[in-house]
Structure 1
Amino acid sequence: MFRSGQLFSFLVVVVAIASLGPLLYLHQLWLVEGANYSQLITRLSTVREGVAEAHLWTEELITGDTTQDIAEVQERFSDAHLATAEFLDFLPEKGGGVISKVVDGIPIDEHVQLLAQEIVSLEEAADARLAARAVSGAGSESDITFDSIYKRVLEKTRLIESTVVDHQQRATERNLRNHRLTLLIWAATLAGTALTLLVLRSRQQTMEDEKRLMESRFQEAQKLESLGVLAGGIAHDFNNLLQAISGNASLLLHDTTLPEKIRDQVLEIDGGAQKASELTSQMLAYAGKGRLNEVVVLFDSMVEEIATLVRLSVPKTVPVLYDLKASGACLRCNQTQVQQVVMNLVINAAEASQDDPQPVEVMTYSRTFEAPELIDSVSTAEMCEPGEYVVFEVQDHGTGMSDETLERCFEPFFSTKFTGRGLGLAAVHGIVRAHQGLLKVSTELGKGTNFQVYLPRCFEDPDVRDVVTSVPTYSGIGRKVLVIDDDPLVRKIMVRMLKRIGYEVVSEESGEKGIECLTEFDGKFHVVIVDMEMPGKNGLAVGKIIRERWSHLPLVLSSGYSQDLIQDGGPFDAFIQKPYSLTSMATTVNSVALDANGLSSP
């Protein structure tokens, strides 16, 4: 495209230059035509001057003036004859159409021939007077005849000259019109050329901008992909670790002999594990390895809920002032993710204000935005539309950011902090976009930074979360389960949970050993639980083999990833995501396990 545009530009310039040719050609013709007319008029002037001098000198010779010579008179007549002959020769070639003129019913070239004859007659009359000077004085018949011929010669030259001059003026006016028209056409061509070049340059600039934008988006996509791979891997491994914490806490909480004081402490452990699980779920969603679980929440209430946690996370020397005025405004959002946005922005603001502790101002309010107001933002969702938004604003009076830092502050892994990981604002950027929102930043080095997050307002009623406190009543007595998981810590807690609800448990550390165990027991299990990520054969491969050989066996897939990513069309009957509690484990396993007689559970 670019090369074809360059070729077209070259052709346009060539046309513009070529269009100058006719203009120069016509101008040259005009100059030549003017020079030709000048030559014709010069010849007529020579005729008139030669005849006048010959007439004057003839009169002086007749009056006895000895300073004149008859040879000079003859020379003047010769000049007049020569000029007349040249005029007649030039007339067809350089007359520019004068030769076609008819004056007093006689063509102009015949007038010139008559002029030549009159000059001959004038010369003969002059010779006759000079030969008879004594009788050719003033008033004589020869003098009268001589003067009469002279007047006719002058009249003929004036007639011919006026005809030439009149034709020249008409030709000049015509040429001037043609010249102006040609100049106008060339100017229009030049303007068109300039406009075309500007358009082509604009298109080229647009293409270059689009190319840079595509390259920038590609680089951003690569960075986000790298972040996704990292976040997904961390979240998966972290979920395995959380399984041990959450699972053991769940077992303790279902121990009726547990002292109340210890139960409260275990509840705090379990609550912390659940919040950590929510964060890992958010990391998986941000990494593209899980869908968002959205709920409708009151925005101000959500901010108030995490105010205490924010207070514990920011430097104690920096006060945080809240001005929450989005009363009654709801959001449909992933609550954990939006809470992370609030946490990240407030903590960043507080850390930026440590050197000169001034309050960090946190504000919420509702506002209606028009389309032009939505354009000037760092992050604009493709489907973002004008309307009612809930605004979360954080203002600090700290160090601010330089232009270079502002340009890169949302890049994954970019950080100006010594211990920073460069993931906080990158996560904010991604979460805001995922919620069809906007993100605006204004900053001045040394004076502070202002972040504004706009999230579409929801006009539904807030969701009410049900709290499940029941102890599982399911029993696995008389049933046997096979657990296949490569993580010994996870295997250990799974065995404890399943034994707690009455199952006989066999565990294996790999898919290959799990298949060997099934072969050894001839598939006599009531349910098989398989981990997704394992060395060698992964959970999907193991599940397919089991389904082919022992089609009657119920299969449960366990993973730190979400079901959306790995269960699609798989061979499993149920899915459970780590970390899970004793209740969720019992509910899931008992829902698919065969009964003690080999029949499906009701």
Structure 2
Amino acid sequence: MLKNVLDAIPDIIGVQDTEYGIISYNKAGYRFLGLTPEETKGKKCYELIGESHPCKECAASLTYDTHKLERMEKYLPDMHCWLDVRTYPVLNREGKLVQVIDHIRDITERKEAEIRNTKLEEQIRSTQKLESLGVLAGGIAHDFNNILMAIMGNAEMALHDIDLSMETEGYLRDILSASKRASGLTKQMLDYSGRNEPKSKPVDVNQVIQDTGMMLSVSVSRKTTLEYDLAANLPDVFADPVQQLQQVIMNLMTNASEALENKPGTVKLSTALKLCRAGELNETFVNDDLTPGNYVIIKVSDTGKGMDSKTLSRVFDPFFSTKFTGRGLGLAAVLGVIRAHKGAIEVTSEEGKGSVFTVYLPACSEYRRKNKKKAAIKPSSGEGHILLVDDEDSVKEITGKMLSLLGYSVDFASDGREALEKYRNDPERFACVILDLTMPVMDGAEAFRRILELNSEAKIIVSTGYTEDAVIKEYSDLNIAGMLQKPYSLSDVSQVVKKVLMK
């Protein structure tokens, strides 16, 4: 009767002696092991799961010592399962331990669910951290562009002074050169924030890699062996080929080469096409809102030192580096670019064996379009009255000088409310309005709408530290006549204002 009851229990029930020897199991136990009662006779419990000695922190061992109920969770890698093991002492009348009863339950589903939930929580925390840092980076980039606007604008205006000495001209050109490099850093910050919308078009990833090949060869150590494995007949991806996709490839390859620590090693770049099903990209960074479908894969692997789990968890943090000379946004900018392209990135690494970075970009089927080179545009003069609205005095001052040099008359306002009052007093006076979007009291977007209520034909140029695509996406309801992206030059002002006034 008791045997029938035990055999009806779905959990494993077993009895062993005081030296790990198996006495018997119920049907669930033999079924789990795939053995018969005869095959378990004379065997130790740990031998049945492929071990040569008792398990670490074995529940039975503890029960032998304590004569009490003990419990442990055990993972069996060969069987790919988790077990909840409880051991109960069987004592004789003298209180001596004579047997141990095992109660073992398969908890694989619960443990896998816990692991999935833990990973999901880590991804959520990582996403929240990235979003917070992205907002911070975007804000800093916007303010920094205002400062650069004043530096670059004044230097450029000074270069128009015909009485400049050659030495002074050299100083000014050095200022412009350094400012342009600083502008590149703000671009990286916008890339990281995900607010630098790519100027996307159908792009052949393999072609971008081939075009980048020469730069790659001179950017890595001579001790680094570069290998390429580019899949044939890949579909295009929607991407910004020069400014962003090329940056991703360069940063990943340079990072992989530096992981070799100037020792002989291999960096391999490969491409492939992969059909990703729902949930398949859950292990990647930036996997929010990814749709199932075909993805073009860019994989960069190295034979370097690899990363521990602590380093791996911070690999995309801005300005984080394991190198003394490491600085900048490197992999953080890569993450921002991939986010802007609606893609994902996966990182695997093992200490002493190297790392693998895998980029997923949504594939498209449109034909590639050839780039058309734009001819250089020289500043040209114009006429008319312009209302310039910006809360940064330095930006107002230098942009006003640029407009005056180009032949325009300028009125100034420091916020949306002041701009609205000036425009309301004499709407016919202004040929166009140059309007910053981020201002106190009344922001640019609200002022934009209110000016259009006064004059639906008003020509309004938006001045911003963000990219044109990002602004259009954010303010799609505004009828924006033109765009000036800070820091802009005299030529930019001339071109945009003239184009708007000719409409």
1:342 offset after TM fit, Å? Answer: 1.8
Match of 1:567 in 2: 475
Residues 155-187 of structure 1, C-alpha deviations (whole Å, 9 max, x = no match): xxxxxxxxxxxxxxxxxxxxxxxx69xx74x45
1:346 offset after TM fit, Å? Answer: 2.4
Written as runs of structure 1 = structure 2, the 5 A alignment for 1:395-410 is 395-397=302-304, 399-410=305-316
1:223 offset after TM fit, Å? Answer: 0.4
Match of 1:294 in 2: 200
Task: Supply the AA of the counterpart residue of 2:249.
Answer: V
Match of 2:121 in 1: 215
CA contact (8 A) 1:377 1:439 kept: no
Report whether the alignment pairs 1:383 with 2:285.
no
Cα-Cα RMSD:
5.0
1:283 offset after TM fit, Å? Answer: 4.2
Give the structure with the larger helix fraction: 1
Match of 1:22 in 2: none
Task: Supply the AA of the counterpart residue of 1:589.
Answer: V
Which of residues 540, 543, 554 in structure 1 aligns to 2:448? 543
**Aligned CA distance change for structure 1 residues 241 and 362 (closer, same or farther; 3 Å):** farther
Written as runs of structure 1 = structure 2, the 5 A alignment for 1:490-501 is 490-501=395-406
Give me the whole-angstrom Cα distance separating, in 2, the residues matched to 1:289 and 1:430.
8
Residues 355-406 of structure 1, C-alpha deviations (whole Å, 9 max, x = no match): x43255343444667879x77964485435467x453424243x32224323
1:591 offset after TM fit, Å? Answer: 4.8
CA contact (8 A) 2:302 2:356 kept: yes
Matched residue SS, 2:291: coil
**Aligned CA distance change for structure 1 residues 205 and 289 (closer, same or farther; 3 Å):** same
Give me the whole-angstrom Cα distance separating, in 1, the residues matched to 2:116 and 2:176.
51
Give me the whole-angstrom Cα distance separating, in 2, the residues matched to 1:274 and 1:327.
38
CA contact (8 A) 2:267 2:303 kept: yes
Report whether the alignment pairs 1:480 with 2:299.
no
Give me the whole-angstrom Cα distance separating, in 1, the residues matched to 2:398 and 2:9.
84
Written as runs of structure 1 = structure 2, the 5 A alignment for 1:25-64 is none
Residues 48-84 of structure 1, C-alpha deviations (whole Å, 9 max, x = no match): xxxxxxxxxxxxxxxxxxxxxxxxxxxxxxxxxxxxx
1:581 offset after TM fit, Å? Answer: 4.8
Matched residue SS, 1:191: coil
CA contact (8 A) 1:290 1:564 kept: no
Match of 1:358 in 2: 264
Give me the whole-angstrom Cα distance separating, in 1, the residues matched to 2:323 and 2:129.
20
Written as runs of structure 1 = structure 2, the 5 A alignment for 1:171-250 is 184=4, 186-187=5-6, 190-191=9-10, 204-205=110-111, 208-209=114-115, 211-243=117-149
Give me the whole-angstrom Cα distance separating, in 1, the residues matched to 2:211 and 2:174.
16
Matched residue SS, 2:9: helix
Give me the whole-angstrom Cα distance separating, in 2, the residues matched to 1:510 and 1:461.
45
Give me the whole-angstrom Cα distance separating, in 2, the residues matched to 1:245 and 1:299.
37
Match of 1:393 in 2: 300
Report whether the alignment pairs 1:303 with 2:209.
yes
1:435 offset after TM fit, Å? Answer: 4.4
1:586 offset after TM fit, Å? Answer: 3.9
CA contact (8 A) 2:276 2:292 kept: no
Give me the whole-angstrom Cα distance separating, in 2, the residues matched to 1:463 and 1:268.
37
Give me the whole-angstrom Cα distance separating, in 2, the residues matched to 1:424 and 1:274.
18
Structure 1: which 5+ residue stretches go unaligned? 1-178, 594-600
Which TM-score applies when normalising by structure 2?
A: 0.62
Matched residue SS, 1:293: coil
**Aligned CA distance change for structure 1 residues 249 and 516 (closer, same or farther; 3 Å):** same
Task: Supply the AA of the counterpart residue of 2:399.
Answer: M
Give me the whole-angstrom Cα distance separating, in 2, the residues matched to 1:274 and 1:462.
31
Written as runs of structure 1 = structure 2, the 5 A alignment for 1:14-413 is 184=4, 186-187=5-6, 190-191=9-10, 204-205=110-111, 208-209=114-115, 211-243=117-149, 280=186, 283-284=189-190, 286-306=192-212, 319=224, 321=226, 323=228, 325=230, 329=234, 330-335=236-241, 336-354=243-261, 356-366=262-272, 378-379=284-285, 381=287, 382-385=290-293, 389-397=296-304, 399-410=305-316
Give me the whole-angstrom Cα distance separating, in 1, the residues matched to 2:122 and 2:480.
41
Give me the whole-angstrom Cα distance separating, in 2, the residues matched to 1:249 and 1:571.
33
Give me the whole-angstrom Cα distance separating, in 2, the residues matched to 1:254 and 1:342.
39
**Aligned CA distance change for structure 1 residues 537 and 323 (closer, same or farther; 3 Å):** same
CA contact (8 A) 1:440 1:451 kept: yes
Give me the whole-angstrom Cα distance separating, in 2, the residues matched to 1:206 and 1:319.
40
Matched residue SS, 1:467: coil
How many aligned residue pairs are there?
A: 405
**Aligned CA distance change for structure 1 residues 505 and 547 (closer, same or farther; 3 Å):** same
Report whether the alignment pairs 1:502 with 2:407.
yes
Match of 2:431 in 1: 526
Match of 2:493 in 1: 585
Matched residue SS, 2:203: strand
Which of residues 299, 321, 330 in structure 2 aligns to 1:424? 330
Report whether the alignment pairs 1:558 with 2:463.
yes
Residues 239-280 of structure 1, C-alpha deviations (whole Å, 9 max, x = no match): 33454577679889999xx9xxxx9x9999999988976775
CA contact (8 A) 1:318 1:350 kept: no
Matched residue SS, 1:212: helix
Match of 1:164 in 2: none
Give me the whole-angstrom Cα distance separating, in 1, the residues matched to 2:154 and 2:231.
41
Residues 556-594 of structure 1, C-alpha deviations (whole Å, 9 max, x = no match): 22111231354233475544333445555345434544x
Give me the whole-angstrom Cα distance separating, in 1, the residues matched to 2:201 and 2:160.
29
1:546 offset after TM fit, Å? Answer: 3.8
Task: Supply the AA of the counterpart residue of 1:395.
Answer: D
Residues 501-546 of structure 1, C-alpha deviations (whole Å, 9 max, x = no match): 4321233444455456546767622222111122433222433454
